[in-house]
């Protein structure tokens, strides 16, 4: 976490995720960044691999195909909808 002062604002940035926020005090900027990171990682939990997805991925890999990284979330969304 990096916190810098820019004018009247403190800007807090997480280098790993690029999540950022700002506040009038350093303490508040740190608090807001922690809240933002909690939301960031909460959303990330939706995309953790469920066992049935792992099996589907293995079948795709056996066929010599791959899923482009930019399409992974969309692929998971479709798999979730199909059940």
pLDDT, tens only, 27-72: 999 999 998 888 777 765 555 556 666 667 666 666 666 555 556 6
For 62, the domain range is: 49-82
pLDDT at 4: 93
19 and 34 share one domain: yes
Tokens of 82: 């199909």
* Residue 7, Ramachandran bin (φ over 0: left; ψ between -120 and 50: alpha; else beta): left
Report the predicted TM-score, pTM, of the whole model to 2 decimal places.
Answer: 0.52
Sign of the torsion angle spanned by Cα atoms 41, 38, 20, 74: positive
20 and 54 share one domain: no
pLDDT band at 11 (very low <50, low <70, confident <90, very high): very high
39 and 61 share one domain: no
pLDDT at 81: 73
6 and 20 share one domain: yes
39 and 73 share one domain: no
41 and 55 share one domain: no
pLDDT at 12: 92
Contacts of 1 (CB under 8 A, 6+ apart): 12, 13, 14, 15, 30, 33
| Domains held by the chain: number | 2
67 and 34 share one domain: no
């Amino acid at each position: 976490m990096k916190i810098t002062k820019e004018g009247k604002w403190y800007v807090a940035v997480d280098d790993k995720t690029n999540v950022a926020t700002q506040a009038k005090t350093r303490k508040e900027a740190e608090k807001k960044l922690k809240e933002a990171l909690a939301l960031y990682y909460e959303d990330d939990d939706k995309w953790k691999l469920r066992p049935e997805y792992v099996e589907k991925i293995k079948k795709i890999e056996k066929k010599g195909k791959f899923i482009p990284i930019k399409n992974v979330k969309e692929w998971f969304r479709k798999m979730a909808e199909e059940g």
